[in-house]
Structure 1
């Protein structure tokens, strides 16, 4: 896998292994350090028994929007093998594979496109309000290191990415806390490609 300098710096900052992924023990240690699983609190957070008694809560527009973007599982590399796993178990530095139809299971950055894919398109309208899908294309020997967010949906292509934020540290979790979810209009300012490449290595909140 050929990576640009910025991608290499990002991978190093989150202590990821692009070839083998994390081991089970490494992932467990990171999860313990995180102090929580890769879960995002819904816009209306209440005990499950309350939701059962008041089913109307699940029909609130913000809760319906949240349900549509919540990921169930993810394909990740663990102990050198690709496995399908509960999305809540992801940690920072996991290597994941995204395919058409998948919901992005964590904030992540694209590292490379799978063979046969010329462009990756991910719809973030329900997360950021962006009208156009986020795109990752090849740039010579490398792939544009596009930032993707928890809850986005892959509409075209297949790619390998590295997770940079999970759970309460994801963009959507921040938007929910700030009362800006569901988004009303585009809440993300898209930088040009040069700025994206220059700043990509600073995106991760990796383990120290």
Structure 2
């Protein structure tokens, strides 16, 4: 069970700092997601932040009904002001204990609040890594968020009904590897990408 006392604030601050350091010249650079440039990754983080903010608030509608696979995300001209604002709203929405209870929706899928929270945290941890690797920046996710992300990905990868990882085939990582590398491998990414 996901811990309703987990504060998403530390992880959203990590993402906000990473995004703040992205130069305009890096927006077209490749990311660990083969079809996405940095601008698409930033657009995805912006969109998922809105969707999971609204899922926490139980404000269901277009933002929570859209399958993220239906479009290639992108950023608008005001993304530098919009992204930190939406990230703060996301963290604030999940501080309400009611967000973690009952049913909600994200990506067009109905799911329990605590599962939506786990997905949101996992998205922030994994895409933070994507963004850091794509821009050559160091990355230290919030330890509590990283642990939740790893546990979520591990459970999904070992669920026989799923047939493997959530985002793609699991990339084998040595058992003694750092927790971040193990989470990244479970997400279908090569922890050595970009090195």
More strand by share: 1
TM-score under structure 1 length normalisation: 0.31
Structure possessing the higher radius of gyration over alpha carbons = 1
* Structure with bigger RCO (C-alpha 8 Å, 6+ apart): 1
TM-score (normalizing by structure 2): 0.33
